Structure formats: C-alpha cells, structure tokens
Structure 1
C-alpha cells in the first residue's frame, strides 16, 4: 500500500525528532519515497546528513535558496507529494499552521499545498492542554488536517501525561491508511471487487505484556485467523491495514502490516488508522499488563519460592473502536474466544463492547483452535446467531469477508 507513495516529511524542533529517523526507515522499507523539510529548530535535534542518508534525497531547509527558489521550489515540493506529514508537530508549528503563517520553508510548503496533511503532535503536557493549543488543533481538524497521537507517558522534561509523539509504527499506520491525493497515481484505497474503495482495519495475533526486558505475559494465539481475514478483505478490493502482535505467520500480500507488541501499542496503531469502513478485531489482546515493568531482568533471590506481580487493566481496543463518534467504522466485528458457555458469554461481550457482530469460537485445549488451521464459529448480530460448520480458517475468512461486503453494500444502498 506504500509502494511509490510520495511523502514529504516536515521535521520540527522537538526532542521527538529522533523518532523520525526510524519512521523514514520504515517508510522506505515499504516502498515509499520520502523527502524531508527541516525547520531551523529541528537542526538542534537531528542533522540534515542523517535525514539525507536515510531518505536518499536532499534535505530542504532554506526558503531563500537561490537554486531551489529560482523554480519556486516550495511550490514544487508541496505539489510533488501525495501526503505531507509533520512529525514532530510542535506547539509552535501547529500555531503557525492554524494562523496561516508562512515565515519559513516548512510553513510556506504547508500553506502552498493541495495535498492531505497529517500531524503528529509532540510537546509538554501543559503546552498540549493549553487553551491556545486546543483552539489551534480544533481549527486544523476543521480544515481536514489528520492527527495521530499524542501518546501519554514520561517526557524528556520529567513530567508525565499526554504530549509524547506517537510511535513510528502508529504514524506509519496513519500514513498507510490515508488516501492518496486525487490524481496522484494509483488509488491506494481502491481495487477490483465488491470492497473497492473501502478501507479496512484488522487486528491479529497475541499481545506481549512485558514483565522485564526478557519476559512477558502472552497467550497461544497464532494470528492465522486474523491474517487470513486481512488477506480475504484485500482480495475483495479493500485497502487493508493489519495491526498484528508478534506472530510467525507471513504477512498477507497486498496488505499494509503494522507490527506491535503490547496492547497499548496496538490501540495506538488502530486509532492512527481510523476512520475506516470496517474494523475486524480478531487479535487475542491481553486483558492485563504488568503495572511496574522491571527495568532489568528479575533475578531469583536465594531461597525465594514465589514472585508477586501487580497487574493493571489494559485498554479495551474493541470497545474503543466501537465507541460512538465520527471515527466509528460503519461495521465493527469483534471476536470472542471462549472456553465455556460460548454463546452466553459472546452475546454478553457484544452488548458490553458495542460492536455490530461478534464471531464466537471455542478455544478450549481440546478444540485445537489456537495455533490450528480449522475453526468453528458462530456469528452473532442483531438478527440472532448464525452457526457455521467446521471450516478451515481460510474458509472462515472468505465467508466473513463476503458477509462484510454484503453488509457494507446494503448500508450504502
């Protein structure tokens, strides 16, 4: 989905600028072409040489370059790109964007563009919460600027809260899920089939919740079912982003894959992809994570026989995606992996999470569902329960994708 995508990355002056180096690497690995514009402040955190080495292109930072501006280079930069990405998007550059200022190359390019714009805010928590920043963000959103993040966590200034720039994998997912500029080559969200022009989000695999640098809490999910669903939706023409926990199954062809480890990283990647037409949450997300991850490997003390871990509730990805609001997909499909009282627990989960369908499957040890190639599912929706016969996971995926295509077609008619 990123093959030959033309991304103009605008790097502003924040400590999170170092993350853009990883973002560029990930974009290039997936076939995107990346150019960089730097603000003057950005040079305090990363060097033009680093950005140039990773992009394989010149880095632009001077509005008054005699060579570039002889041909109106700032106009050409903005017109050549399918998507402009500002990362990190500091409070300063967001304010200048909101007020239409063009006092350096970065803001001039942003004002001159007709391409979509995506920003990844990064700043101190109090700057993010300030009424001026809130007002600026409201203006930019009203103008159609897409936003990924910010995340909550520890900051370089020593404070804690929202304001950390989204991780590169979440920004990558937002870029992959963003439609190309009209007339900018092959349409990234179109293809042959009944789901042509539709965008889909699929989650797959387990999550790993770190205990210390070498141990984690996980489950036996293989990712086979979620990956098969992503592939089936892509074959019907959808532009699919697959957010996957650690798995050993190969990436499906024609699908943008965002690899994550933890439940929190999976949620951030999913939110970066929204809005989409359909979300299928097939991942086996850990309900609990370790409250205080040990910074070093936990060692056994002499005579120690027990270890106590304090667990904390992980974010609810399915409920978050299904929550009412402008970003809610038209169709949200969840999975219920149960070992007893299958239908009772699945119905209750559907009501609690607010999703449209629940695909219930028995994952008890005797079924061989986790890690196996076959599955027996019940699809629970507003019209009741539909019991499917035992099928391969590929067949379940094909049948579910066809049902999704029918539902979206009915919704559009």
Structure 2
C-alpha cells in the first residue's frame, strides 16, 4: 500500500467526521453496506460513496475487522485520536514503559560509542531517535495519568451501577496494577532515575567533545531539555495519579468497612434476635431539666461579681529577634539561592541549614521545588541518611544539585 498523503488524510477526516465518529462509537465495527449507506447520507460532496470508501481505506482511516472483509473499524491511530480528544485514554500497566527505557539505554550506549569515535554524524542521528523515544515516554505517562483520573472521577461521581464493594475492588485493582508498580520504576534507585542520570552524563560528555560544532551543541542542549521535561512530567503525573487514587481508595475502604460491619450486625440480629446487641443496656435514655439564667443562683452571683471588672492591659508584643525569625524564601528566591550555592552535595541537608526553624512540611515543599526546577540538575547520590527536625526525623537518599552548563550565572 502506498504512503498516504497527509493533507488528504486530514481533509478526508474533516469531510467525513460523522462517519468516523459512528465507527468509533460502534466499537464492534460496522458492516460495509451500512457504512456505504452512511457515506451516501452524510456526504455533501459530489464524490461517490464507493470512491470515498476506497479513499478512507487507502489513507488508513478505516480497515477491515480481523478475519472479516464485510465489516470495518477505525485504524488504531485514528481511534487513539478519538480517545485522546474524548479523554477516553486506555490504561497501560507500568510494564509498558520498560521497553522504552530499555531502548533508551541501548541508544545511550550507542551515543557514547559515537562520541568516543568523534562521529558527529552518528551523534546527530542518535539524538533524533533519542528525542523520539523520550517523547513516547512523556505521551504514555500523560495518557496513563488521564486514564486513571478519568476512572477515579467516574467512580467518585457514582454514575455507574456498581455496589460499594465493587467500587472498592475496582479502585484497589487500579492501585495494584497501574499506580503502585510505577513507584518502583521512578523511585530514587529505580530504572527511570538511573537511566536519566546515565543519559544526562552521556550527553554532557558529547557536549565536551563537540564544542566546535554549534549545530550539534544546539541539538545536545535540546535533548537535555527534553530529558529534564520528561523526568519532571513522569514524576508529576505519578504524584497526581497516586494522590487522587489513594484519596478515593481511603473513602471506598471506609464505605466498604461500614457496609461489612452493618451486614455483620444484620446477620447477627437475623439469627440471634435484636436482644443479642444489648442496645437496651448500652443506650440509656437520658433526661434533663431546663433552667434559665436567673434560676441559677451560682451564675447570678458570678455575674454580679463581674460587674465593674476592668481587665488589665495586655502584655506588649515582643519584636522577633533575628534568631527567632524563620527564613521565608519564596519559590523563585529559593531556586535563585540554590543556583548561587551550587554545587550542593546534599539538597535536604542544605535546606535544613538554609530554612532554620522551618516546619518539616515547608522543608519538604522547598525540597520538591529544587527537584522540579527546570534550571537545576538533581542526581541521587550515596545511601539513605536521616535528617533531624526535632520531633520529626526524615529518611532520604542525598540529592546532589548543580546548574546546567548552558544556564547563565545568576547576577
């Protein structure tokens, strides 16, 4: 089959959108006779239905169903477009990202080989393929995030006719199959983080070798920027997905526990009678007597005593000393100060010293600013260590922070 013309592809999709939408909604495909009839009715153009039908196939908008010739469906790429714009992305397990990581590892080794051979052409070709694989990972991560959030929203809205136990089972499977396993890939010593550090190091080596080639230097800078973006995107997508899924999981778990407890009590009442619950002994009927203010002699005496009372002057508010005032750096100011202090061998240790007297949540928020900053490079180094916040002790892998070589120095 010849390669379709891209302009004709989009023109056909626009002119016969109604037919394509009907195919997407049909799910199980549409018979050829019904499809031709639909083209005759919906098409406002002079071309015959037979010609349009042939064009839709040759430009890869539709294809026959497997093992059938009289029924047709949308091609995968067109169906994916409908899913994307309708926010009906299909879920994919975290294992789906592993082949992309393996491919990037292979390309990283090949890029290092071309760098050692001083082959600028080989490096340039390698960067094109690496850029493509990086964008595939970002697209997969974003699609999976939207797919999980769509299902969480549907369960939270309760539009489907699922029982409490069924909703709990669905969200539990969602966590076990699609959310939690991703943590093993993107955690500090996971495959994604290790590959990111390795590939960034390889790109840095290539930049140091091809300093006299401005075009290749731009390509290397662009690939490093893509790498930073996909790392930030994958981590952010995971955090959002896990937070929303866990929130619904806790809610459904409570509902499921309540339902289970209520079922157990009803079963007990059914077999042993209501007396088995001991409600008469446990739930005593209370009694009370209403008394007005003027019937309470003790309160009357107290109110008379309070007549004419003048409170003393309040103690003056003390001005905070320099040692008492906590550091109040904003996000931009924090990143600027971090850039000035680079290289920082331990980001958490540096924050503990910089943000004295700050609460652990605020230090963790600042820690996240550093990890997600597009102008800073962060690399996990060494083994886990503890950070003392008084009543709270945090355990984390030290993170080294440095500035991109092509970033201008702060003024």
Q: What TM-score comes out, normalization by structure 1 length?
A: 0.24
Kindly indicate which of the two structures has a greater share of residues assigned to helix: 2
Kindly indicate which of the two structures has a greater share of residues assigned to strand: 1
Q: What TM-score comes out, normalization by structure 2 length?
A: 0.24
